[in-house]
Amino acid sequence: MADRFAIILAAGKGTRMKSPRPKVLHEIGGRSMLAWSVALAKDLGCKRTVVVVGPDMPLLSEAAAKFVGAENVVIQRDQLGTANAVDAARAALKDADGHAIVLYADTPLVPKEAGVRAFAEIEKGASICVLGFIAKLPNRYGRLVTDGNGSLNAIVEANDADELQLRIELANSGVMAAPVKLMFDLLGQVRNDNAKGEYYLTDLVGLARERSLQASVAHCDERDVQGVNSQVELAQVERVFQDSVREQMMAAGVTLPAPETVYFSYDTKIAAGVTIEQNVVFATGVSVESGAVIRAFSHLEGAKVGPGALVGPYARLRPGAVIGKDAHIGNFVEVKNVTIGEGAKANHLSYLGDGEIGAGANIGAGTIFCNYDGFFKYRTIVGEGAFIGSNSSLVAPVTIGVGGYVGSGSVIVEDVPADALAIARGRQAGKAGWARTFRDAKSAAKKAGNKPKGAV
């Protein structure tokens, strides 16, 4: 099989986004649109990926360099159309020998299967393959003009199409594959005698056909190639992504009673047999094993949830949270960089940061792992079967031994031995009749108009 290459066009200014962030660095499913395209090129087995950016785009150039290397980031100095943009990659790919695919960084959801089909057409002998789709409202798209055998004869931009061509429903996605050397050869012949005065990549089809070369169409769904040029379209593509993942999750055996309220990231991993209740958000880096239940209004990021675990409602799992088998993390509990052992429970109103909780331990309501001194983070270790009473503060670094108990309301600053009880609070004192005397004195002062010093 010939080597594969990718050219990702990312030079658009994105002015309609009205955002200081470069358009293609906006995210879909927790991953930038540029990263989606780079990942697609990798999935397609591309030997080298070149990203074309515009001038004066330092943030985008820096981001692209992290993905593909600075030597593979090229600048389209004069933004004169898509053919001009692809031609900017000529020098970077001057020694390339194989097949190239042109992708668009603002069209993030092109599936691998579509790219595979495009390359397959080239490998079967087509000189150019264009990814096309049946458009519900084709007016804004270029039309793919085919013959009776389905071969592609030309691509006509909507602004240049005649009345008959505008009736064609098969639309151009912009994604194109061709042998590298042929692509750049044809690019040298593209002219700008069109309604916009730009150099269109789509003209390569007509130029190839003039040489009696074959052009073909690989088909995909319209939602696979939906582009982003505004915040509204960004939200629309996010919705496409979320709906697709929800369908995949349910088809794989994940229970979603209200799927439209659950949000996933591109890398979320949920096993069959998991139940996810309403209004749950999965940020990046989350995996959930079978039998777990994620209850309503929970937020998870960078966390692993073990089999049979119960999380929420209203729980927050932050990066580094590892929830063991059958463990419980309840309402308004926040876990960050803590491993929770099998069957351990923290059911109410706690912050657990940087540490380890042993199997079967119980963390009472209002427990705080005091892990930060303003400069450094420290770990708290709670042994197996330990019991932490409600409203306790464990000041790290500190260890509660296996089976140890901490009395409610304690502030623990020293290690607690195994099976020991630690109580660290002021001793309760009682003064009989004090409350009555206090109320009587204050009532009399108020009646007489005598405000104590400092009263308002």
Active-site residue set: 348
252 Cβ neighbours under 8 A, 6+ residues apart: 270, 272
Residue 238: which H helix or E strand, with range? helix 231-251
CA distance 419 to 2: 67
- The first and second tokens of residue 38, run together, are 């780079």
**Which two structure tokens, joined as six digits, stand for 63?**
């981001």
- Which strand (E) or helix (H) includes residue 217? strand 215-219
DSSP one-letter code for 48: E
d(C-alpha 286, C-alpha 298), whole Å: 13
The Cα-based distances of 454 to 167, 404, 443, 447 in angstroms read 83, 46, 17, 18
Amino acid at 326: D
The answer to whether 108 touches 69, Cβ cutoff 8 Å, is no
Nearest to residue 152, comparing CAs of 206, 116, 96? 206
Peptide bond into 313 cis (omega under 30): yes
**How many beta carbons lie within 10 A of that of residue 80, not counting itself?**
15
Beta bridge partners of residue 406, listed in sequence order: 388, 422
Token digits of residue 177:
């594959």
Residue 139 near residue 157, CB atoms below 8 Å: no
**Contact call for residues 311 and 293 (beta carbons, < 8 A):** yes
223/129 Cα distance (integer angstroms): 19
Q: Which helix (H) or strand (E) holds 437?
A: helix 434-448
Label the pairing between strands 3-9 and 48-53: parallel
CA distances from 112 to 40, 105, 108, 293, 329 (A): 6, 15, 11, 31, 38
Contact by Cβ (8 Å): 283, 30: yes
Q: Which two tokens stand for residue 316?
A: 């927050």
The identity of residue 261, as a single letter, is: T
8 Å CB contact between 128 and 213: yes
